[in-house]
Structure 1
Amino acid sequence: MARTNNHDRVKEFDKWISWKEEGCKEAEAELVERFLPLVTKVANRLAIGLPNNVDKDDLISYGRFGLLDALNKFDHTRGLQFETYAMWRIRGAMIDGLRENDWIPRTVRDKAKKIEEAYNILEQRTLRTPTDEEVCQYLGITEKEFQQVIYDTSLSTFVSIDEAVGDEDEQKTARHSYIIDEVTPRPEAVAESQSLKEVLTHSIDKLPEKERLVVSLFYFEELTLSEIAEVMSLSPSRISQLHSKAIFRLRSSLTRFKTQLM
């Protein structure tokens, strides 16, 4: 099996050389066909938990542009895994497409921002993870209203990792750029990235048990939310809510991290 995989990698690398260095269009077409299933894979993961008015076919359409962009920008000489690089590009293209078509209303973004601020302020006050009841009390809403806000902002929590870190006047860097870097990082960038990983690791460890499990299964085990729902014997909508709350808590940690760098 190992030989077959190694043989496939050699053949794939030959195709990169044929296209990038020799201009072979046939090799380009073969690479596109080879990695096209990545678009569907990313669309299936992103579609879970999104509002019903988001059409998965639209996600796939946006994602194809992301795949082509990834193929054109990928440096095959660096020995990196194209799949990892491409999935971020594909996901980013899907999210850009959603934004351009106003899938996320301003009111939803405002609600998401208020919840994120509530988690941030309450955690600094209490030096622990705030409960839902405490967040509700701070925002002056009922728990039912809070859960509705969490549901309405589910799309925002999936988008958040691609949003820029920085103020309007700063050069913006997407959060995932700390994890996936397209160029050789500077020493200070390596230190900053390591610090961010430590912040996220600590923040994930502090999450309530169910939220921590959802984050682990979704981002590390790469299960879909529907698969996680089966594992945890909960409804997909409940898993989506747990995911949303976890991301709000993690975003508050990222905000504090950014403030410390300034």
Structure 2
Amino acid sequence: MIEQKPANLAHMELWQQWREQGKLEAKQALIEAYLPLVDYVSGRMAIGLPKTVSREDLASYGVMGLIDATDKFDYQRGLQFETYASWRIRGAIIDGLRQGDWVPRSVREKAKKIEDAYQKLEQQYLRSVTDAEISEYLQISEGEFQQMLQDIAITTVCSIDEPIREEEAETRLSLLIDDKAKNPEYKVGEFFLRESLAKAIERLTEKERIVVSLFYYEDLSLSEIAEVMNLSPSRISQLHSKAILRLRGALGRMKTQLFQET
């Protein structure tokens, strides 16, 4: 009986040829082997984006991310390339979309208003606020609030991959950095980020937590989550938008408190 190699060693020889010997043929072979990752990531990110954004554009951005990942990945650290490359592909797609200014200013302003409302009201009440409370604060009807959530859904699909700090280009991908390379200040910052995010997630409603868990941890698409939860895709999109805006508001509030204390 032939012993099978672990999945993460399937292309070890190619990695050695590329990273140690600089063989371009090996690099090309690796890129071709992992091209399905681009299709998978771009396909998931296409959900909720305007129809004017083509799959071909997303895929072309994603290929650039895959090439970047192939150039920078250190196969000797024992990490899964699929995980690393997926983050790089997503990041390249987001960069491409941002450069194309695909979200109208009016939509960004709506998202910012709701994020600020969550941040201020949940700091005031020290609990998750209801749609009615948000609507009253914004001086709109609940129906108008739900429509705003639908309008800004496209801005929240990529939010989790935005930079941890505005002045830095690195996203949560930085958490993959070798522990041995982290200085004490970085470890304190990472601990604060994890603690803050955990506390913020606890403040989400049950349905919002389920959507976040299924989308970001179970890797389901919004349409698949709709089937699991027996809700309409538009309702899942609204829940996702509210969850992300709550999290962004909470993290922004905690970041402000941190700087005030230091």
Q: Same fold (TM over 0.5)?
A: yes
Question: Structure 1: which 5+ residue stretches go unaligned?
Answer: none
Q: 1-side partners of 2:109 and 2:9: how far apart?
A: 49
Matched residue count: 258
1:21-32 alignment to 2 at 5 Å? 21-32=20-31
**Which has the higher mean CA deviation after the structures are superposed, 62-71 or 100-109?**
100-109
2:126 corresponding residue in structure 1: 127
Q: 1-side partners of 2:19 and 2:207: how far apart?
A: 46
Aligned-pair CA distance for 1:228 = 0.5
Contact 2:87–2:173 (CA<8 Å) still a contact in 1? no
1:215 corresponding residue in structure 2: 212
Which secondary structure does the structure 2 equivalent of 1:261 belong to?
helix
Q: 2-side partners of 1:233 and 1:161: how far apart?
A: 25
1:115 corresponding residue in structure 2: 114
1:20-44 deviations in whole A, cap 9, x for unaligned? Answer: 1112222112211111111111112
Q: 1-side partners of 2:247 and 2:170: how far apart?
A: 15
Structure 1 residues 247 and 259, CA, compared in 2 at 3 Å: closer, same or farther? same
1:1-262 alignment to 2 at 5 Å? 3-6=3-6, 8-166=7-165, 171-177=167-173, 179-181=175-177, 184-262=181-259
Contact 2:41–2:86 (CA<8 Å) still a contact in 1? yes
Aligned-pair CA distance for 1:77 = 2.5
TM-score when scaled to structure 2? 0.91
Question: Sequence identity of aligned pairs in percent?
Answer: 54
- Deviant stretches of 4+, over 4 Å: none
Contact 2:200–2:251 (CA<8 Å) still a contact in 1? no
Structure 1 residues 128 and 141, CA, compared in 2 at 3 Å: closer, same or farther? same
Q: 2-side partners of 1:2 and 1:151: how far apart?
A: 54
TM-score when scaled to structure 1? 0.91
1:85-140 deviations in whole A, cap 9, x for unaligned? Answer: 11111001111111111211111111111100000000011110110111111011
Counterpart AA for 2:105? R
Counterpart AA for 2:186? A
| Alignment root-mean-square deviation, CA | 2.1
Contact 1:196–1:257 (CA<8 Å) still a contact in 2? no
Aligned-pair CA distance for 1:142 = 1.4
Counterpart AA for 1:240? S
Q: 2-side partners of 1:38 and 1:70: how far apart?
A: 12
